[in-house]
Amino acid sequence: MVGIVKDVEENPAKIKYGMVGGGPEAFFGSVHRKAAAMDGEIELVAGAFSSKPEKSKLQGKELMLDPSRVYGSYEEMAEKEGALPEDERIDFASIVTPNHVHHPAAKALMEAGIHIVCDKPMTRTMEEAEDLCRIASKKDRVFAVTYTYTGYPMVKQAKKMIADGMIGDIRKVVVEYPQGWLTRTIEKDGAKQAVWRTDPAQAGISSCMGDLGTHMENMSNYVTGLEITEVMADLTVFGKDRVLDDDGNVLVHYNNGARGVFFTSQISVGDENDLRFRIYGTEASLEWHQENPNYLHLRYEDQPEKVYKHGNDYLEEVAQHNSRLPFGHPEAFIEALANIYLNAARTMKAKKNGIEPSEFDLDFPTALDGAKGINFVVKVVESSKAKKWVDARYSPPC
């Protein structure tokens, strides 16, 4: 029977969390709340929903939270939640703010003894990313990064098929992620999501590559298991008066000798959220599209194409574990994000119960994955400026 399996039964209590960001005018905060609530194992009990205390209180009221646990800042939330007994305070904080808040908020909350689920990119700089890695390791905190697309069952199916050698040795990796929503400079009209993503103070050193390219790097690493060794990048700013890239192309070398091509854009007119990958091996190739996520295509040189479909019993156990519905019932973005929340929460619960998390529950992007993403952005920007190949290997700090 296809469906999410319950692995941690020792303590039936829900995992409690607080949210940083996701206030009245935020879009993705509500998406994260829906994903976290999907399986009934995670409960929102606190929040610092805005940098403006009155907006935070308004959001808390709308969500029917206890007013005493709706805070005016993440600092206040860290201080007051951290002072509560362990069985009363939040287990983790979900950070869904613009990039510049990720590091200080995650640091304050981890130091208060709280686990973290953080939106991507994890930070603005390499120094911030490695600081969070070290704190998470030192404090033994679970740190999940919401690279949502790795939560899709058919992505997990592809990963297992590659690991089992079904396509042979990998030769070429092609990942595309075009969007068209910044074709016009809508940030000048005050479009909130565009304003902060095009502002270096909030977004960091890159817009397009930081926002979308990190997904490509993470997907490539997750599915293939390969590490990037070198990059040659060409970043462009097409929007008038913008200072951060809104389009990018990257040639990639991998540690097994494979070659890669990454293409991402925010100015590809007509494209919406068209993340896709093609992995070419010596025996076969795999292709997956995020906008049609319930199908995985396997192609051979001398055999008919095979199409693997979500929800079927012939899929790998890991794909079935991360599915909720039987075949013919589509699952998509919120379910994929829910898988990251659920797996991270079950890992937290296992730690709480003093037991080892299961292999499947440990299957979520970590602080190390977040740091790899920032390293990728830094090296891509460096390569584009220097117009040359740049060593992109990464040695983790913890």
Instruction: Provide, rounded to the nearest whole percent, the portion of the chain with pLDDT above 90.
Output: 95
- Using one digit for the tens of pLDDT, what is the confidence trace for 122-148? 999 999 999 999 999 999 999 999 999
pLDDT tens profile 84-121? 999 999 999 999 999 999 999 999 999 999 999 999 99
Q: Considering Cα of 228, then 277, then 158, then 35, what sign does the dihedral take?
A: positive
> Has residue 1 been placed in a domain?
no
User: 313 and 189 in one domain?
Assistant: yes
Residues 116, 228, single domain; the answer is: no
Among the ranges given (4-8, 362-366, 385-389), the one the predictor scored with the smallest mean pLDDT: 4-8
Phi then psi for 299, rounded to 5 degrees?
-125, 140
For the chain, how many structural domains are there in total? 2
- pTM for the structure as a whole: 0.95
Average pLDDT estimate for 315-332: 96
Q: Evaluate if residue 1 carries a pLDDT over 70.
A: no
Question: Chain-wide mean pLDDT for the chain?
Answer: 96
Mean pLDDT of 61-69: 97
Backbone angles phi, psi at 279, to 5 degrees: -115, 120
Query: Is there a domain that residue 5 lies in?
Result: no
CATH number of the domain enclosing 158:
3.30.360.10
Are residue 186 and residue 308 in the same domain, yes or no?
A: yes
Mean predicted confidence (pLDDT) in 360-364: 97
For residue 388, give Cα distances in angstroms to 27, 126, 175, 250, 258: 38, 21, 21, 11, 19
CATH number assigned to the domain comprising residue 357: 3.40.50.720
Are 90 and 176 part of one and the same domain? no
Check whether residue 141 and residue 179 sit in a common domain.
no
Q: Tell me, yes or no, whether 23 and 169 share the same domain.
A: no
Any residues with CB less than 8 A from the CB of 149 and at least 6 apart, and which?
Answer: 155, 215, 219, 275, 290, 336
Answer yes or no: do 130 and 169 share one domain: no
In a domain, 326, yes or no: no
- Determine the pLDDT at residue 167: 98
Residue 143 lies in a domain: yes
Domain span at 109: 15-148+353-365
Q: Give the residue carrying structure tokens 């010596």.
A: 282
328 is a domain residue? no
Mean pLDDT of 51-62: 97
Please tell me whether residues 357 and 210 are part of one structural domain: no
Per-residue pLDDT at 231? 98
State the pLDDT confidence band at 31, using cuts at 50, 70 and 90: very high
Residue 35 identity (one-letter amino acid)? A
Q: What is the pLDDT of residue 27?
A: 84
* Gap between the Cα atoms of 347 and 357, Å rounded: 5
Q: CA–CA separation, 392 vs 126, rounded Å?
A: 13
| Torsion sign over Cα 146, 200, 227, 115 | negative
- Range with lowest mean pLDDT among 9-23, 225-239, 335-349: 9-23
User: Is the same domain home to 95 and 175?
Assistant: no
Q: Phi and psi at residue 380, in whole multiples of 5°? A: -65, -45
Largest CA distance in the chain: 65
pLDDT at 26: 85
Average pLDDT over residues 238-264: 98
Residue 3: which pLDDT band, with cuts at 50, 70 and 90? Answer: low
Is 116 found in the same domain as 263? Answer: no
Q: Which band of pLDDT confidence, cut at 50, 70 and 90, is reported for residue 396?
A: confident
Instruction: For residues 19 and 77, state if they share a domain.
Output: yes
Dihedral sign, Cα of residue 137, residue 153, residue 349, residue 357: negative
Residue 82 within any structural domain of the chain: yes
The predicted model gives 57-70 an average pLDDT of 98
Residue 2, pLDDT above cutoff 70: no
Q: Identify whether residues 268 and 143 lie together within a single domain.
A: no
Average pLDDT over residues 258-286: 98
Give the residue with greater pLDDT, 6 vs 313.
313
Does residue 301 lie within any of the structural domains?
yes
Q: What is the mean pLDDT of residues 48-64?
A: 97
Query: 170-178 and 259-265 as β-strands: parallel, antiparallel, unpaired?
Result: parallel
- Nearest Cα to Cα of residue 333 among 4, 31, 85, 101: 31
